[in-house]
Amino acid sequence: MTDKKLKKMLKDERFNALPSESIKQEIKRELFGAPSVSSVQNNQESHGAISQQNRKSKVSTSKAGKSGKRNLRFVFATVTSCVVVVAILFSVLFFLPIQDKPVSDTYLSIDINPSIEIVADSSDIVKEARALNADATLLLYGENLVGMTLEDAATRVVTLAVELGYIDASATDNEVSLLAINDSTTKEQSLQSALQMKLQQYFGSNNITCSLNMKSNNAKTNQAALLGVSLGKMELIKEVRAKQSNISSTAAKNMSVKELNELLQNYDEATLAQVQTQLENAGATALIQYRENLNAKQQHLEDIEDYADRISIKLNEIEKNEAELSELASLIDEFNSDFPSYAYTGANDNLEAIAIHFGDAVTNATNEVENALDNLSSHLFTFKNMWKGSHDEYNNNDNNSNGNSGNGNRP
């Protein structure tokens, strides 16, 4: 047999041993998708002569590859699904809305150094105010914020800070930080906007440059939602944990706002009680006199208003008969006895003159109350500034320990 015939025979045997074209195409489709005609031809030309056993081995290997590929596809699909789920969860958590709650008491923290905590009821009427550091004890000394609206109380605190030099009217770097906390995020945000507007009006009308730091704007909605707290409390928790990292978010969530404020400000009740006692001892005699005078004037005003109301009712109902004029005269005599300095000495049947006199009496009594209040405020202002100047150790300790956001200006 010639070499040429032998090669031809081997070549024919080689092609007879290969899988059929349909089998090859099925395997390639499973592994790589449908191949082009040119790729099939190139594949055939690149192969040398192999034995029938090798071809069978290759078919077996191809089947194993097919199974492995299916496993890889399953793994890839599983991983892809997990990634998608994680992405969806991340998106949901990132944009998770805060579940609003019913309106509760509001806690308003005002931080200038001094640092003050005000508590108001659901109608925004102040029911408690307390100093969180020594400067605040001085600022609030002799003041009563209870009964004011939250906006008026905040304005009063800022006004006192200006009077005592904690806010320098001539400076440009003043800052007041406010944090309103309410279970209801809607209420919280509403109060924050109202307070910001009120204080901006105050500073504008008094030509004072002061930036307002509305601290709940710094809180992240998704964090508050996950923890189940309002934006305001979330910001307070964040500030506390920045100072005391050993406190977990869950532990901080379960603390009251008062407890968190005390941690944030390094609240020392004993020290503040000592400051309060020193203030009372230093200004007790004069302040008692001013306060007693003010209280007396306020009581006079209430009584005079009561008389004026009763006489007004008589004047509206009177028909100038003898019995009713007698009742009116008795009421006037009673008033003259209680308030001789405001006594009515005109004719008891001159109804117009009586009405004018008692209207003037209420006005004069009101003016006396305002004068007494001005005298008390003036004395407090003088006393506080004198006391403050001689007790800088408290002010310096507060600035060093509390790290308050205000500039802590001194007069």
Residues 306, 170 within the same domain: no
Residue that terminates a domain, selected from 239, 271, 303:
271
Considering the domain boundaries, does residue 224 fall inside one? yes
Considering the domain boundaries, does residue 145 fall inside one? yes
CB 119 within 8 A of CB 107: yes
φ/ψ region of 269 (left if φ > 0, alpha if ψ in -120 to 50, else beta) reads alpha
Task: Considering only residues 230 and 209, tell me which one the structure prediction assigns the higher pLDDT.
Answer: 209
Task: Considering only residues 72 and 384, tell me which one the structure prediction assigns the higher pLDDT.
Answer: 384
Residues 114, 257 within the same domain: yes
Residues 195, 267 within the same domain: yes
> What's the predicted TM-score (pTM) here?
0.59
Considering the domain boundaries, does residue 68 fall inside one? yes
Considering the domain boundaries, does residue 409 fall inside one? no
Q: Which residues contact 52 (CB under 8 A, 6 or more apart)?
A: 17
Residues 127, 230 within the same domain: yes
Count up the domains in the chain and report the number: 3
Give residue for tokens 């507060």. Answer: 398
Residues 382, 236 within the same domain: no
Residues 226, 113 within the same domain: yes
Tens digit of pLDDT for each residue in 292-306? 888 899 899 999 999
Considering the domain boundaries, does residue 411 fall inside one? no
Give me the long-range contacts of 39-47 (CB less than 8 A, separation at least 24).
Answer: none
- Listed ranges 74-83, 158-167, 318-327; the one with the highest mean pLDDT: 158-167
Residues 141, 229 within the same domain: yes
Residues 303, 155 within the same domain: no
Residues 221, 289 within the same domain: no
Considering the domain boundaries, does residue 101 fall inside one? no
The answer to whether the bond into 114 is cis (omega within 30° of 0) is yes
Residues 15, 68 within the same domain: yes
Q: What is the pLDDT of residue 411?
A: 33
Residue that terminates a domain, selected from 271, 291, 313:
271
Residues 264, 308 within the same domain: no
Amino acid code (one letter) for 257: V
Considering the domain boundaries, does residue 410 fall inside one? no
Residues 344, 206 within the same domain: no
Considering the domain boundaries, does residue 100 fall inside one? no
* Residue 16: pLDDT over 80: no
Half-sphere exposure of 311 (CA within 13 A, CB side): 30
Tens digit of pLDDT for each residue in 225-266? 888 888 889 999 999 999 998 999 999 999 999 999 999 999
DSSP helix/strand/coil, 276 = helix
Tens digit of pLDDT for each residue in 44-62? 444 444 445 545 444 444 5
Q: Which domain holds residue 55?
A: 3-94
Residue that terminates a domain, selected from 65, 94, 123:
94
Q: What is the pLDDT of residue 268?
A: 93
